Amino acid sequence: MKPIPDSIEKFAGDLRALRVHGNPSQLAELEPSILQALREIEIGNDRLGALMHRLVDEGAEFEASMRGAQDLMATLSKASATLPAIASRREPTGATTDSTNLAVSGKAALDDIFAHYTMERERTVHVDFLRCFGLTSMAPSRQVREEAVDDGILLF
């Protein structure tokens, strides 16, 4: 930004020299250009002032948002510090279930959900989920289902 004030200063010095040593009619011709340049400088100063004001306001908003986020992170940290204690209290009470605790209707519902899966990955996730709780699926395996669907017609 230094070149702009330097060039303005140079032109101002040239105008002073022209005023002292120059022709008054030549100065009269330059007066509208000088006034226009001063108006543009004032407009630029106003824009710059507005931008600086906006920058200060948005900086304050950003700082407030960051402070709020830090407060939320501190609260989350305090809340999450209690989770290991809760988990350790929960484990001895038998948080995991075995297949005998699940009612027959619950097993049937899980098998019905399994039957609606169309992708092998969905079935794998379902079986893995059940295994986490010590359950086994009574749904037919993938090979059995494929054999049931195969009608023996070859398309190619």
- Residue range 6-47, pLDDT digits in tens: 887 887 888 788 778 877 777 778 788 888 888 998 999 999
Pick from 81, 107, 134: which residue ends a domain? Answer: 81
Asked if 73 and 14 sit in the same domain, the reply is yes
Nearest 5 degrees, angle CA 100-CA 104-CA 110?
Answer: 100
Q: Model's pTM, two decimal places?
A: 0.40
Pick from 48, 81, 114: which residue ends a domain? Answer: 81
pLDDT at position 56: 97
Asked if 30 and 100 sit in the same domain, the reply is no
**Helices 24-81 and 3-21 sit at what angle, rounded to 10 degrees?**
160
